[in-house]
A and B are shown apart, each in its own frame.
Chain A
Amino acid sequence: MIEIDGLTRRFGEVTAVDGLTLTIGEGEVFGLLGPNGAGKTTTVRMLACLISRTAGQARIGGLSIGDPAAARKIRSLIGLMPEEAGLFPDLSAARTLDFYGRLYQVPAALRAERTERLLTLLGLWDRRDTPVKTYSKGMRQRLALARALIHDPPVLLLDEPTANLDPEGAKTVRDFLTELRNDKRTILLNTHHLEEASRVCDRVGVLANRLIAVGSPEELRRSLWGSATILQLAEVTGPVAEAARKASSGDVAVAGNLLTVPVRDPEHDNPELVRAVVDAGGQVQFVTESVPSLEDVYLKLIGDKR
């Protein structure tokens, strides 16, 4: 649905996005992670035909973003939620959605139906006739999300949808994003919230002006750290640690009564590991998988880039 090939944008001497190449399939939720100034917003703006590209190409639904004749059609395919909600303070939620629905040529009956459905889903229906200026930040973000969906677009570009929200507001938006996954929409999600990306996205890309890694959160974790097994023992003795080292593919870490043992293939290696430890006199209490968080992955990638 979204094909990006060598997409580049420079602002004078500064290269905001450098040769981004990426394909996002239909119905896929793709998270773009990166620090401030990494080029995430610039990427979204280029894809939404809001700003031009310096080089490269991108196609959305088969339409080229560089083609002025296609710009209107591409914008019809996209629902954009910018980082700032950007609502009209004097308009109510219902009038806001009606206004945008008209601009997307949504027929009146369908506008009314979608307005009710979206505002109900996002918990704003009871406040539909209240001016937006009386809304909390969380309510505004939710309305901005409803606005992005009023024309039922096949592609959603979400730029930091939970930025600056309190935990409750962020959870409401995140839960709704999880529901959107089931709609088979193609979603590009810019986010700082790694837990959010981990939970919502099929794949993530780490952007620091260039795309420095891409894959599912699980793939990224494994590619950077491999697998490790944590054994909790009654006591870690010298022979037990030595047995674990022999059964391991890397450096074994000992912390109190915990052994962290790198393994190549947990399903194959763990039974042998446990057997070796038990044979060495170890009393195994728990066996768990060591899972680095997406935050660990992100920080490592960004740290390496710097």
Chain B
Amino acid sequence: MNWRNVTTIAAKDMGILVTRRSVRLSLILLPLGVAVGLPQVAHFAGGGIPAGLLPRFLTAFLFFFAVIAVMLPVAIASYSLVGEKIERSLEPLLATPATDSEILLGKGLAAFLPPIAAIWIGGVVFMALSDRETLARLGHPYFPNAAAILILAVFVPLMAIMSVEYSVLVSARSTDVRAAQQAGILIVLPAVALYVLAEIGAISLDVATLSVVAGILAVVDVALALASRATFQREEILTRWT
């Protein structure tokens, strides 16, 4: 693996992506909106929520960042892969000495790193604002805690990786960026289901539950990595991707 090729491709893709207004806006507005908006729920509805239930709500709110970690890479990876397919720019790229794995990893990093950075910044802002809103009622800062660290440091990257890999599979069969994004967004449903179940109290997002789900997610990521690697092969791209 030539890491220089990987970083060159990732830097080029990130440079192009940040010039797109829709990508820039979604990277800024979505994490920031959640980071600022959800603590306001605690502020305005906090009085109606018993102090004992507040931690459950706050953890579920933080888990929403894991949902965003699925949504954002889909949008970016679709631009990166389907966009190149439309522009026919993959063939000259594949003709360079860069291997399929280096190209795939470079593109994956470009779709992975900006959302992760935006989500981590949003997560820190969310935790700070939530602590400010709930400190008086809980008597201590709720964040950071083990579940929060697990969500941000483990769940968010695993979700983002899953999203990127799934996007590769979807992009192979799409000729339109919007169609790829719409098909790709289906992957967000399991994450949304977990969020809703946590909000209604059907599951508890404690460290034990999160660890089990993270383990399952890691297995899914490995399976999707193998599938996307099998899909992203120059012969396949030039003869079967339509």
Contacts and interface: CB of A to CB of B under 8 A. Distances in A.
A51 B95 contact: no
A85 B90 CA distance: 10
A144 B90 CA distance: 13
Contacts of A48: 95
Question: Which interface residue of B9, B84, B89, B239 has the most chain A CB atoms within 10 A?
Answer: B89
Given A89-B87, A102-B4, A103-B8, A51 B92 contact: no
A97 B20 CA distance: 21
Interface stretch (B34-42, B96-104, B190-198): B96-104
A99 B91 contact: no
Interface stretch (A30-38, A76-84, A238-246, A290-298): A76-84
Contacts of A95: 12, 15
A84 B86 CA distance: 11
A276 interface: no
A82 B16 contact: no
B234 to A, nearest CB: 5
Interface residues of B, number: 27
Nearest to B96: A103
Contact of A51 (B4, B84, B93, B234): B234
Given A51-B235, A52-B235, A86-B87, A99 B12 contact: yes
A45 interface: yes
Contact of A88 (B12, B94, B238): B12
Interface residues of A, number: 31
Contacts of A89: 87
B5 interface: yes
Given A11-B239, A52-B235, A90 B92 contact: no
Interface string B172-184: 0000000000000
B97 A76 contact: yes
A91 to B, nearest CB: 7
A103 B16 contact: no
Contacts of A75: 95-97
A87 B89 contact: yes
23 contacts: A50-B95, A50-B235, A52-B235, A72-B99, A75-B95, A75-B97, A82-B92, A82-B95, A84-B91, A86-B87, A86-B88, A86-B89, A87-B87, A88-B12, A89-B87, A90-B16, A90-B19, A90-B20, A91-B16, A99-B8, A102-B5, A103-B98, A104-B97
Given A50-B238, A95-B12, A104-B96, 20 more contacts: A51-B238, A72-B99, A73-B97, A76-B97, A80-B92, A81-B92, A84-B88, A84-B91, A86-B87, A86-B90, A87-B89, A88-B84, A88-B87, A90-B19, A90-B20, A99-B8, A100-B92, A103-B96, A105-B97, A147-B92
Interface of B: 4-5, 8-9, 12, 15-16, 19-20, 84, 87-99, 234-235, 238-239
